Amino acid sequence: MKGEKAFQRCISASCGATFDVGEVLVACPRCGDLLDVVYDWSKCNPPGGLAEFQRRWANRNRPLDLSGVWRFRELLDFCGDGQRVTIGEGQTILQRNDGIARYVAAKAGGLFLQYEGLNPSGSFKDNGMAAAFSHARMVGATRVACASTGNTSASLALYAAHAGMQAIVFVGSGRIAFGKLAQGLDYGAKTLQIAGDFDACMRRVKEACARLNLYLVNSVNPFRLEGQKTIMYRVLEGLGWQVPDWIVVPGGNLGNSSAFGKAFAELKELGLIDRIPRLAVINSTGADTLDRLVNAKKLTWRDGNYDRRAIADDWKWQDDTKRLPHTIASAIEIARPVNAAKCLRALAVCDGVVRAVSDEEIMNAKAQISRGGLGCEPASAASVAGAKLLISQGVIDPSARIVCVLTGHPLKDPDATVGYHTAQYPKGKEVAGKRLFANMPIPVADDIEAICAAIEGGA
């Protein structure tokens, strides 16, 4: 691997085996742990300062400079320009939002929303797909597959259609929001509705990929996470290249949090930032595995010597007790997060914390996010609900500079939104508690007097 710009390396301290970037691997063949993409920075030629990336805005007519992923290509330089896939992902914005600052009891001017719903398929996944599909193209893959709670499948299907590959997606029966299912079907993915939940889909897609030689793009694919690092580069860009105090992100399969930790560790190593922000990863209380591992079982990274056994024991305990995840935030309805170990590393790098918030807190935060501007799907709102909780607990200082990542577009899951406002949630997805910001539709007769009376009527 010496002499290459990039290679793959096992994250386990006791293994650390390395592999060529041309190999298609989703786990270390020696020990089974996760893999990283590692760079020889002396060959990648990163700029001397982050602000230099901004110069590429002037070349927006060139697809690789328009891409919010490939604009930063020297920081994820594992393939050649001709292999890079883009459909214009990463045109996102960082919105200062004083309304949400008030809602979470933070200082005005200190709360920012990184809105990833602006991506081509409406979620942050497109950042990762641009990178994973570039690797897929590099290795000559023709069939790509994933297990998904919805957004990964939508994104994969879109990129596969664009790249001329066949998409095969595994989704849990009845567990995926309709906006996302609609996208995958429309983009032409072969969609397998597995009689089981996300974790079952994840297990089966790995088996199918191994057997049928399909290219797997779940976040166990280390190249996908390289693309998701750029979300943090754009946050820094949005803040004029200043480092915030906190990044708050929902946690499902834990790809994002893992990628964010890696992004900051690398930027620090390169001397492109002088400090690393703290990270808060937010579970739903209905899918709270990370919260349990970190806060109850006190699992930590321990320089790559983390307690693998404790994770395996937790999975077994879930099996034995037939514990199933259940949350309105279907995107993060995941009980066996595949990137748990990398997330532990990110928490160590970023002095991170983990919390879980209820569906009630998620849906109220989501309604506030929509009223304040951009909107998001339920899982995304866990970030704002988490920031509110952490400020109330005195963990986040109200005068801190806080960035909450909004991972997906509000139209992804209209059923949850209409359910919240009308109290008629989809069956099996009911949310208990107060709907603080419900905005009921008003039934009115087809009569102008009645219509005017309704318009003039009380709030």
**What is the Cα–Cα distance from 225 to 217, expressed in whole angstroms?**
10
Residues 230-269 binding ligand F0G (CB under 6 A) are: 250-256
- In Å, the largest CA–CA distance within the chain is 79
| Closer residue to ligand F0G, CB minimum distance, 97 or 257 | 257
Please report, as a single letter, which amino acid is at residue 346: A
380 sits near ligand F0G (criterion: CB under 6 A)? yes
Q: Cβ neighbours of residue 312 under 8 Å, at least 6 residues apart?
A: none
- Strands, E, within 222-380: which ranges? 246-250, 278-284, 353-357
- Determine the Cα–Cα distance for residues 139 and 346; give it in Å rounded to an integer: 29
Residue 320 CB, shortest distance to ligand F0G, in Å, is 24
What are the tokens at 442?
């008003």
- Cβ atoms of 354 and 295 within 8 Å: the answer is yes
- Residue 296 is given by DSSP the state I
Burial of 300 from C-beta contacts in 10 A (0-12 / 13-18 / 19+) = middle
Contact at 8 Å (CB) between 172 and 197?
A: yes
Please report whether residue 284 would count as binding ligand F0G according to CB under 6 A.
no
Amino acid identity for residue 279 in this structure: L
Q: Are strands 166-172 and 246-250 parallel, antiparallel or unpaired?
A: unpaired
**Applying CB under 6 A, which of residues 86, 123, 221, 364 lies at the interface with ligand F0G?**
123
Does the protein bind ligand F0G through residue 359 (CB under 6 A)? no
Among 127, 134, 151, 283, binds ligand F0G (CB under 6 A): 151
Residues 382 to 421 in contact with ligand F0G, rule: CB under 6 A: 407-408
- Interface with ligand F0G (CB under 6 A), residue from 332, 344, 387, 416: 332
Residue in 72, 210, 50, 193 with CA at minimum distance from that of residue 130: 72
Minimum distance of ligand F0G from residue 321's CB (angstroms): 23
149 touches ligand F0G by CB under 6 A:
yes
222 binds ligand F0G (CB under 6 A): no
Q: How far is the CB of 134 from ligand F0G (least distance, A)?
A: 19
Q: How many residues bind ligand F0G (CB under 6 A)?
A: 21
Nearest approach, Cβ of residue 127 and ligand F0G (Å): 11
- Which residue lies nearer to ligand F0G by CB, 50 or 167? 167
Q: Which is nearer to ligand F0G, 56 or 292 (CB)?
A: 292
**Minimum distance of ligand F0G from residue 365's CB (angstroms):** 13
Site of interaction with ligand F0G (CB under 6 A): 123, 148-152, 219, 250-256, 331-332, 377, 379-380, 407-408
